Amino acid sequence: MTNPLLETWDTSFGLPPFDRVDDTDFAPAIEAAMAQDLAEVEAVANNPEPPSFENTIEGLMATGASLDRVLGVFYNLAGADSTDTREEVMREFSPKLAAHAAAIYGNQALFSRIEQVWLARDALDLTPEQARVLMLTHRGFLRAGAALTGDAAARMTEIKGRLAMLGTQFGQNLLADERGWQRVLSDEDLTGLPEFVVDALNGAGRERGSDGPVLTLSRSVIVPFLQFCPNRALREEAWRAWVARGANGGETDNREIAAEVLALRQDRAQLLGYADFASYKLETEMAKTPEAVRSLLMGVWEPAKARALEDAALLEERMRADGINGPLKPWDWRYYSEARRRDEFSLNEAEVKPYLQLDRMIEAAFACANRLFGLQFRPLDVPLYHPDARAWEVTRNGAHVAVFIGDYFARASKRSGAWCSAFRSQRRFPDVQGPIVVNICNFAKGDPALLSYDDARTLFHEFGHALHQMLSDVTYDMISGTSVARDFVELPSQLFEHWLEVPEVLQEFATHAETGDPMPKEMLDKVLAAASYDMGFQTVEYVASALVDLSFHEGDPPDDPMAEQARVLADLGMPEAIVMRHATPHFAHVFTGDGYSSGYYSYMWSEVMDADAFEAFEEAGGAFDPQMAEKLERFILSAGGSEEADVLYTRFRGRMPGVEALLKGRGLVA
């Protein structure tokens, strides 16, 4: 019996054959594809011909196609629709795949060939893209430990395998804690909650097999509950469960995992000759050094903290008016902040939400992409991995560009958060491939599904990442789409958020779910005026997380990460009523893999650019200025990682930005 994951996919647009894939196919497919990949790599390493760019660098990039396809399906499904079998496969293969990668990077014959091509680079007449790929390949092998030998090489392999296993366990523990907690609510518990929150709670109950409302730890459920629930004791109970994820003791506790991960990362960095992991990690980013990161974060911290403390005093006054003495607590902030928003802006989220229908916001994102880049979106009727997922063909001037998949609803099998991924990246070598891009979100289900303004911003954010993938126009998938510096990758996503705030976009697409009427101009003006509301809170919770992440990886790793977290927050003077957006035991960005480790700051580094980049549109002909859109696509969206990020941004803008536009955009300056 053939394994559908290993076949040639004779499907529409080469989509994975989701309707034929069974969980039992994954393990044998990964094993077979790993073996094939190693055989292909050995053929490159042992090529009797003298090393050249074509037979070594391009030869290496032509390997592993089967493994890439299989893992593209597996990892996307493991994150978006986990099952016991998929989690078991993840635990089994994370260390195996780490060892597989270590075997390739540790192949001395292969590295010798790469080194020879690198040393001969000036005589090879390479294109700029080829020169970039050669540099990245050579640097990647060095940073992976290719130059290590003997005990050091063996230790590096051991570290990578252990880190892979720990990252997998961290994420699965977090998902288990999120799945494992629920609070069945009575009619009395629903008192004071707006209809859309009750609908979300009933939807969560149905998803959990209950016939009544259930509070879960899904962000799309618990955040509005904390915003609107007048029962302070119930808010506290829910909030404590939410922030305790990964720190509940027992098998799913992540605190010891975090400590071991930090120690192993330090060992890895020092094996490669770096003082600490932050120095190793940031070397290839725009920031380059921990000092540059800290300078940015502290430049934003002080005005944000000052604003947050001013806001806290106002919220505490409201709490006193309710007859509650004592200090404002973290489970109070969202509730009283929502009340203040209603008063100051005459804006009630329960009144706004019916105008932010999920389907209309998807249409809005598509329409912006059409006006900016000429993209068109046609719904596809194709088998997908889950009934909630849907797909569109993306075209321009009648030509195929990409397939876009949207998977928008929260469910117990999906890890929390929102992200963009790809089943296939764009490339022209060794064969032409159009990208298959997926956006994953965790919105509450409804009929129709209604979004908060933050939800709508998340939808636009992830679609900005998707545009980076879909409009990529490079030869090699190594530098395709979002394969850029971590502190540059958030630029397209955060920049696209600005189009949600363009009045004409909301005027057209923010229509009432029942009446179909457009959002009244008075409400629209209030929504836009409130866009930077509560930015003291949002900035403090984010920057605190980024500074803790940096501290974890700068210098010697802490024996007790929780104690180090407490020390950093105390030194910062963290406001009592605000906590980190991601406390250590559930800081998945940092501990499920290396992606954002020592790099959580990157959202703000990119925001400095996105605020400045949108100003460029406003300085030109407005949000849909065609010349600026063409420059954005040519120099950033289509360019992938073909050049250094600062070079690409300077080509687009003519200069690098300062922090002023960011502070202005967040409302943190007068």
Under a CB-based contact definition with an 8 Å cutoff, are residues 393 and 380 in contact?
yes
Cα separation, 218 vs 414, whole angstroms: 10
Question: Is 107 a residue whose pLDDT tops 70?
Answer: yes
Strand partners, 390: 406
Q: How many residues does the chain have?
A: 670
* CB distance 160 to 102 below 8 Å: yes
Please give the mean pLDDT across all residues of the chain. 96
Question: What is the topology classification, in CATH, of domain 4-147?
Answer: Glutathione S-transferase Yfyf (Class Pi); Chain A, domain 2 (1.20.1050)
**CATH topology of 4-147 equal to that of 251-347+535-600?**
no
Q: What is the pLDDT of residue 29?
A: 98
- What is the model's pLDDT at position 306? 96
User: What is the C-alpha separation between 517 and 527, in angstroms, rounded?
Assistant: 16
Where is average pLDDT lowest: 233-237, 526-530, 561-565?
526-530
The residues, any chain, with a CB within 8 Å of residue 91's CB and separated by 6 or more, are 165, 168, 169, 172
Distance of CA 353 to the CA centre of its chain: 24
* CA dist., res. 594 & res. 585, Å (int): 16
Phi/psi zone of residue 573: left (φ > 0), alpha (ψ -120 to 50 degrees), beta? left
Q: What is the pTM of this model?
A: 0.95
Distance (Å, whole) CA 366 – CA 466: 11
Q: What is the full DSSP assignment across 638-659? A: TTTTSS-HHHHHHHHHSS---S
With 0-12 CB in 10 A as exposed, 13-18 as middle and 19+ as buried, what is 584? buried
- Which entry of 115, 129, 349, 462 is annotated as an active-site residue? 462
pLDDT tens profile 464-521: 999 999 999 999 999 999 999 999 999 999 999 999 999 999 999 999 999 999 999 9
Q: Are strands 399-409 and 419-424 parallel, antiparallel or unpaired?
A: unpaired
Quote the CA–CA distance of 545 and 539 in Å, as a whole number. 10
Domain edges within the chain: 4-147, 181-244, 251-347+535-600, 354-529+603-665
Tell me the per-residue pLDDT of 74-89, one tens digit each, with 9 for 90 and over: 999 999 999 999 999 9
Residues 6+ apart with CB under 8 A from 188: none
CB 450 within 8 A of CB 356: yes
- 382-428: pLDDT as tens digits: 999 999 999 999 999 999 999 999 999 999 999 989 999 999 999 99
CA distance 306 to 145: 45
pLDDT > 80? residue 670? no
> Which pLDDT belongs to residue 439?
98
Residue range 602-625: mean pLDDT, rounded: 95
Residues 6 or more apart whose CB falls under 8 angstroms from that of 552 comprise: 262, 558, 561, 564, 590, 598
Q: Is 346 left (phi over 0), alpha (psi -120 to 50) or beta?
A: left
Instruction: Calculate the CA dihedral of residues 118, 122, 125, 126 and round it to 10 degrees.
Output: 40
| Strand partners of residue 467 | none
Which CATH code for domain 251-347+535-600? 1.10.1370.10
Residue 40 has pLDDT above 70, yes or no: yes
Average pLDDT, integer, range 118-133: 98
**Is residue 659 pLDDT above 90, yes or no?**
no
The pLDDT value given to residue 348: 86
Task: Note the pLDDT tens digit of each residue in 298-331.
Answer: 999 999 999 999 999 999 999 999 999 999 999 9
- The residue among 282, 280, 260 whose CA lies nearest residue 269 is 280
What confidence tens digit (pLDDT) does each residue in 150-160 have?
999 999 999 99
- The mean per-residue pLDDT over the stretch 427-449 comes to 95
Closest CA to 159 of 136, 151, 37, 35: 151
Query: Domain 354-529+603-665: which topology?
Result: Neurolysin; domain 3 (1.10.1370)
Q: Is the dihedral of CA 373, 379, 381, 386 positive or negative?
A: positive
The tokens describing 581, both together, are 């957006």
* 643 is a catalytic site residue: no
Question: Which pair of structure tokens corresponds to residue 551?
Answer: 């501290």
Q: Which pLDDT band, with edges at 50, 70 and 90, does 662 fall under?
A: confident
Residues paired with residue 407 on neighbouring β-strands, in sequence order: 440
**Alpha carbons 254 and 262: distance in angstroms, whole number:** 12
